Structure 1
Amino acid sequence: MGAPKRHRSTRDEEKLTAKQRKTGKHGVDDSVSPRSDIAGNDKDHEEPSEDAGEDDYDVISDSDEEAMSVANNQTLSDASSNSNFDNHLSYKLVSTEVDSLLKRKWKYTWKVPTINMSNCHWRGTGECINKDLETNSLSVLKPRLYKHWLESCKASGSSESHQSKLRPFLSMCSSYCDIMHYNKKPFYLKGLEEDSNIMDAYLLHSLNHVFKSKDLMVKNERKLAKNQGSVECKSVDDDDAYRDRGFTRPKILLLLPLAGIMRRVVKRLIKLTPTKHKAIVEDLERFCEEFGSGRSEDKDEDDDIENSKLKTSGKPADFQALFGRGDDNNDHFMIGIKYTNRGMKLYGDFYTSDIIIASPLGLITKIGEAEGQKEKDVDYLSSIEILIIDHADVMLMQNWSHVNTVVEQLNKLPSKQHGTDVMRIRPWYLDGHARFYRQTLILGSHTNPEMNALFNQHCLNYQGKVKLECTYKGVLPKILIQARQIYERFDIESIVEADNARLKYFSEKIFPKIKDSIQDGVMIFASSYFEYVRLRNYLKSQSASVCLFGEYIKRNEISHVRGEFFRGEKKIMLYTERAHFYYRYKIRGVKNLIVYSLPEREEFYPQIINFLEESDNMNCRVLFSRLDNLRLERIVGTTAAKRMINSDKGVFVFA
């Protein structure tokens, strides 16, 4: 299996209480705020309209049937969901609120404990969205969607525990605030149940948003048809109630890093879609041929396949689960999903799709084509109302700048009209305020400065922000050998000088000892490609005997490089975190380990240290600065990390 191709880069209004005026719903420091307290195929030559067509909607909408259900005293109510959906999209921002949001000064004013994660808690801006996250749990869903989900859980044998664990996050999603959850245990690291709960929650939320948007447009189309030619119809232009759409149809953008993960999500999306909306799933056969059937996600089959592979492969279990299939590592894909009165269509034209699922690289390619060819555009990104970035930690192993570029491209004014009735477009789209209404979910197993920057600088939702904060025990107990780990802190004067300070410390304190020693088997581990390049150039300038094992190594060179190092023909091996992520080879012959920069993924740290199992002295030196706190606490634990960052001493030993 080859590593996937990756591109390189350098890197409506109501009065508020006095308290609300002081804080602001969105948590921005705002002295005056009137905010109320409320809970694939890209055919560029086509310009389809978002206006309702007979192919897109049923004669009897879900809202009609749900009204009948209430009339018949059925217990499930849609009032909570309507409140969140309608209030969020009908709210009118005023200029002072926009100015406050643009200042990006977020005040996290509340904290609530998480459920099933004793080491974490939620923190948010503005008013606490829900002090008890179990409240208003599944009542946020449309009755048809909720009923189908229950039937799906029963059919798959899901326990009550699965349902109860899904409710808090779904309730949080329905608040329409921005969310950053960076302690999600992924399915490939024995976190299948937790990952599935989070995935079900955001897929249900997305489907709920799509179906409610459709219901609103159907309702308004009927009113307009009924009142056609009347005085009421002539006043439509001045009635915001009929402004129910954006510039283009797509409302949900789901960014995923790999095709294997995308296949898993699409399969689950189909299962969660009510039967009425998936009587026919067009192009399903094509999807299965291109990305695989996804049958391995069935519990029993998944266990059998995983066990059979592990018997014949030296790769660890998480690698097998993430890259086990032939095309799972494909990071270039993009498909549109459209819901009609006949069912759902995969590979829909992007302008007529409701949901777009893509990899960052897939979208970057489309953006690049639009910039280079005038007849092409990416206006289908102009009306995204929910952005979901799942497995963001894996994207860090690709090219995070692609994610930034995609997010910056969202909610821009389109270059063409694309057949949409301008009189039906919501005012805040026309005002260029769509980004303040977009909800963004960033989900991953850990965070880093780049993810935090995206959340703080590009997620400007007026509803506010919620993020997870955690304490860590560290991963040192997972080291299988008695390795002596010497952590050395180097001082920095500014963030700008951090990289130079690291290289200077290495060249003055570490490398001279390596150069003067006759010992071979020295591995230097670097986390980023940028650090790898700087080290490579420095070592070559010192005429060091070095072999290179980076993420862009050719597959036919791997055995040669490993052999040279093992036999001592090359004294030093320069090894990167991404190379470890995509290849996961066991490197033999490591006698001395230098961790130039701590890995982003904490599970890699014990694996790298365990490379020393054949060494006689088992010594390891680790460089870190105060800017490495996020990585450090995941590895040594939150308590130890605070001590190491704040201590007057600069050297710390773990054995």
Structure 2
Amino acid sequence: MKPNSVILFCYEQRQVAEDDVTDGAESLSVSEEENDYEETDNGSLRMQEPDMVGTEEQTEDVETEDDLETSDRDEDDDLSVCGPYTVATSSFTKHVEYKLSKVEAEDLSKKKWKYTWELPAADISKCKWVGTGECFLKDDDLNYNYDLKQKLYKHWLDVYKTSGGNDFHSSKQRWFFSLCNSYRDILHCEKKPFYHKGLEEDSNIMDAYLMHSLNHIFRTRDLVRKNDAKISKHQESTKEEILPGDDFLDQGFTRPKVLILLPLRSVAVRLIERLIQLTPATSKVNVEQLDRFYQDFGAEEVEGDEEKEEQSKNAKPHKPPKPSDHQSLFKGDSRDDFMIGIKFTRKTIKLYGDFYSSDIIVASPLELMTKFGKVEKNKELDTDYLSSIEVVIIDHADVISLQNWSFLTSVVEHLNHIPSKQHGTNVMRIRQWYLDGFARFYRQTIILGYYLNPDMNALFNHHCVNYQGKVKSVHEHNGVLPKVLSQVRQIYERFDANSIADVDDARLEYFAKKVFPKIKDSEQGGIMLFASSYFEFVRLRNFLKSQNASFCLLGDYTDQRDISRARVWFFEGKRKIMLYTERIHFYRRYKIRGIRNLIIYSLPDRKDFYAEIVNMLEGSDDLACTVLFSLFDKLRLERIVGSAPAKRMIKSEKGVFVFC
């Protein structure tokens, strides 16, 4: 069934239902008493009608009778925690019940967002938050407005106190939860990662977005179950199956509501373990498939330890260890192909749930791209489980950018499409904004990383169109030049480019005319040519070939034997130039020997790599490093030389700058 056919089918079913309602039909009155209705046993997030198609999928992952037993009553089923005696409509309810007009949707599609307010980030030096619309982060507005379900709030507070915390209201995780709970799109790329001396900060932010995810899922589930109960009561009293009005539109096309995108399996293990810890005890009496999870996501770590032990016995004593951040990030299972569905019932967390019956999907962009490829080859398959995602969290975006950013962009572009098939959803319960094709305007996207680059900016600016607006962090940088240990003359040369579309050609042209002739005419070897991206690596490789230059390669896809041979040739002077990329340095962190002259064709995204690469220069006389940059390298330039110097270098009439 084509997407348009699915929508047509939904509208036809609703029209038939409306025609069947008699003029004197008794409507359901939703009173305050019914708002506190006790959860009943007929609550499925995909309630089926006898005449619905797609029922063959019902039995794939149905809840057991034990799962549906009434658990400890959550005292605040419909209310938010806003202080001891105050109640308010939750942000979740306000967000999903807002009716977006077609005019508003059209404006959002082409809107250029204006950031109208700013607040200092109290916990990050030289950092501030800026946002669109009205400021909602003032202390007056945040006092006690946690907006969590009571059960989640109590459990989170217990976890916080157990870990030694004593001021939950002022804590980083509580503050960031309030930011997430605004349902605005968030770009925060100043987050210090767990593997780079930022364990506490990273964990606090992860706790906040995990609690936000749980809150969203539990509120969605409770709303559906309450409506199930009201519908059942109405049908018993009136003998009518059809309910008028929009009060019972509470579902999307499919069940999954939260998508968390991560770069590595080891990072997924850390997240899922914490997700289980943050789930209240009454909701995790049983965690299914946990052994299988550790087998799939942890086995390589055990093997890695054995291999490391064996290698350590045979290793040469002088071999330098990898930097601590590299060891911390890659110490577990570093494979980047994974996808797991997580389903929450009243007493059970089900790992490896069928994707269509899961609440959260944790995946890597690579694995989802593999799924898309299979769908292209086999039209019987689909990825419609991405059609109703309402919260997307992209964590460690900086690591993903060093894998393949285009995969991530493709994943986001595949979200919130009209499904190609029916998947057992009760069409009488689908929210109108799903049928109108407006789901992407309700989707919240949270992008988190260690640094910001143009790709992340582009994703946030063009693919995040939440009607609630945007919030992002802005940082003033000190730079990393003091970390350069040796006395190296760092010569920055600016080249001009008319637009971002022209910058790659302009960079290569400047290199070919201004920099390469000096290399070609010199007899000196030991020249390292550093490129940030694989695209630049390929262009440089082709250029050097065309010039019959003496060079060797350490690229993203270079075979290990060729890498070892190239390093020996370069050190012994058999090859004059070595071409090296940021990506291979990220994964291997080689200490290259024999560098006498360093040319940074494009600055690295990771500021720490700049000092590492420059500090590889050997020798005592006239050590030099040449760096090419343009206006469009501003983000990287700020991180390395500092925000204030970067602005001067870009605007100055001079084109050459020297740091010693």
TM-score, normalisation: structure 2 = 0.86
- In the alignment, is residue 150 of structure 1 matched against residue 157 of structure 2? yes
Secondary structure of 1:417's partner?
A: coil
**Matching residue within 530, 535, 560 for 2:540:** 535
Offset at 1:278? 1.0
Q: For each residue in 1:324-345, what CA deviation from the matched residue of structure 2 results, as whole angstroms up to 9, or x when unmatched?
A: 23x2x20110000011133101
* Distance verdict in 2 for CA 1:555–1:450, change over 3 Å: same
**Matching residue within 367, 378, 381 for 2:383:** 378
Offset at 1:194? 0.4
Question: What is the alpha-carbon distance in structure 2 between the residues aligned to residue 374 and residue 588 of structure 1?
Answer: 52
Question: What is the alpha-carbon distance in structure 2 between the residues aligned to residue 48 and residue 437 of structure 1?
Answer: 27
Offset at 1:232? 8.9
Q: Which moved more, 1:425-434 or 1:99-108?
A: 99-108
Q: Is the 8 A contact 1:381 1:409 kept in 2?
A: yes
The residue aligned with 2:224 is 217
* Distance verdict in 2 for CA 1:86–1:49, change over 3 Å: farther
- In the alignment, is residue 437 of structure 1 matched against residue 469 of structure 2? no
The residue aligned with 1:16 is none
Q: For each residue in 1:381-419, what CA deviation from the matched residue of structure 2 results, as whole angstroms up to 9, or x when unmatched?
A: 000000000000111101100011000000000011101
The residue aligned with 2:556 is 551
The residue aligned with 1:322 is 329
> Which stretches in structure 2 are left out of the alignment for 5+ residues?
1-53, 303-312
* Distance verdict in 2 for CA 1:96–1:461, change over 3 Å: same
Q: For each residue in 1:19-74, what CA deviation from the matched residue of structure 2 results, as whole angstroms up to 9, or x when unmatched?
A: xxxxxxxxxxxxxxxxxxxxxxxxx9963499996659644367x53149999x99
The residue aligned with 2:254 is 248
Question: What is the alpha-carbon distance in structure 2 between the residues aligned to residue 577 and residue 549 of structure 1?
Answer: 10
Offset at 1:127? 1.3
Offset at 1:313? 5.7
The residue aligned with 2:48 is none
What RMSD over aligned residues (CA atoms) do the two structures have, in Å? 2.8
The residue aligned with 1:302 is none
- In the alignment, is residue 342 of structure 1 matched against residue 347 of structure 2? yes
**Matching residue within 66, 70, 86 for 2:75:** 66
Structure 1: which amino acid aligns with 2:253?
A: F
**Matching residue within 245, 250, 257 for 1:239:** 245
Q: Which moved more, 1:634-643 or 1:548-557?
A: 548-557
Question: What is the alpha-carbon distance in structure 1 between the residues aligned to residue 581 and residue 289 of structure 2?
Answer: 40
Secondary structure of 1:494's partner?
A: coil
The residue aligned with 1:573 is 578
Q: Is the 8 A contact 1:590 1:615 kept in 2?
A: no
Q: Which moved more, 1:514-523 or 1:238-247?
A: 238-247
Number of equivalences = 596
* Distance verdict in 2 for CA 1:293–1:564, change over 3 Å: closer
What's the % identity of the aligned pairs?
A: 58
Secondary structure of 1:562's partner?
A: helix
Question: What is the alpha-carbon distance in structure 1 between the residues aligned to residue 354 and residue 75 of structure 2?
Answer: 30
Question: What is the alpha-carbon distance in structure 1 between the residues aligned to residue 98 and residue 112 of structure 2?
Answer: 22
The residue aligned with 1:166 is 173
* Distance verdict in 2 for CA 1:635–1:387, change over 3 Å: same
Question: What is the alpha-carbon distance in structure 1 between the residues aligned to residue 101 and residue 82 of structure 2?
Answer: 40
* Distance verdict in 2 for CA 1:535–1:594, change over 3 Å: same
The residue aligned with 1:41 is none
Question: What is the alpha-carbon distance in structure 1 between the residues aligned to residue 457 and residue 374 of structure 2?
Answer: 29
Question: What is the alpha-carbon distance in structure 2 between the residues aligned to residue 86 and residue 568 of structure 1?
Answer: 68
The residue aligned with 1:23 is none
**Matching residue within 409, 414, 423 for 2:419:** 414
Q: Is the 8 A contact 2:607 2:640 kept in 1?
A: yes
The residue aligned with 1:600 is 605
Offset at 1:559? 1.7
Offset at 1:118? 2.8
> Which stretches in structure 1 are left out of the alignment for 5+ residues?
1-43, 297-307
Tell me which structure has the larger Cα radius of gyration: 2
* Distance verdict in 2 for CA 1:646–1:67, change over 3 Å: closer
Offset at 1:314? 1.2
Question: What is the alpha-carbon distance in structure 2 between the residues aligned to residue 350 and residue 201 of structure 1?
Answer: 24
Secondary structure of 2:230's partner?
A: helix
* Distance verdict in 2 for CA 1:264–1:130, change over 3 Å: same
**Matching residue within 618, 634, 638 for 2:639:** 634
- In the alignment, is residue 188 of structure 1 matched against residue 198 of structure 2? no
Secondary structure of 2:617's partner?
A: helix
Question: What is the alpha-carbon distance in structure 2 between the residues aligned to residue 357 and residue 77 of structure 1?
Answer: 37
TM-score, normalisation: structure 1 = 0.86
The residue aligned with 2:96 is 89
Q: For each residue in 1:170-209, what CA deviation from the matched residue of structure 2 results, as whole angstroms up to 9, or x when unmatched?
A: 1010010100001000011100000001000000000000
The residue aligned with 1:404 is 409
The residue aligned with 1:611 is 616
Structure 2: which amino acid aligns with 1:135?
A: L
* Distance verdict in 2 for CA 1:57–1:280, change over 3 Å: closer
Question: What is the alpha-carbon distance in structure 2 between the residues aligned to residue 442 and residue 194 of structure 1?
Answer: 16
Q: Which moved more, 1:330-339 or 1:553-562?
A: 553-562
Question: What is the alpha-carbon distance in structure 1 between the residues aligned to residue 657 and residue 151 of structure 2?
Answer: 58
Question: What is the alpha-carbon distance in structure 1 between the residues aligned to residue 268 and residue 594 of structure 2?
Answer: 38
Question: What is the alpha-carbon distance in structure 2 between the residues aligned to residue 292 and residue 461 of structure 1?
Answer: 37
Question: What is the alpha-carbon distance in structure 2 between the residues aligned to residue 137 and residue 529 of structure 1?
Answer: 49
Q: Is the 8 A contact 1:473 1:638 kept in 2?
A: yes
* Distance verdict in 2 for CA 1:338–1:76, change over 3 Å: farther
Q: Is the 8 A contact 2:79 2:149 kept in 1?
A: no
Question: What is the alpha-carbon distance in structure 2 between the residues aligned to residue 57 and residue 540 of structure 1?
Answer: 66
Question: What is the alpha-carbon distance in structure 1 between the residues aligned to residue 299 and residue 141 of structure 2?
Answer: 35
* Distance verdict in 2 for CA 1:173–1:617, change over 3 Å: same
Question: What is the alpha-carbon distance in structure 1 between the residues aligned to residue 148 and residue 627 of structure 2?
Answer: 50
Secondary structure of 1:611's partner?
A: coil
Structure 2: which amino acid aligns with 1:365?
A: T
Question: What is the alpha-carbon distance in structure 2 between the residues aligned to residue 138 and residue 475 of structure 1?
Answer: 39
Secondary structure of 1:240's partner?
A: coil
Question: What is the alpha-carbon distance in structure 1 between the residues aligned to residue 245 and residue 337 of structure 2?
Answer: 43
Question: What is the alpha-carbon distance in structure 2 between the residues aligned to residue 255 and residue 291 of structure 1?
Answer: 16
The residue aligned with 2:13 is none
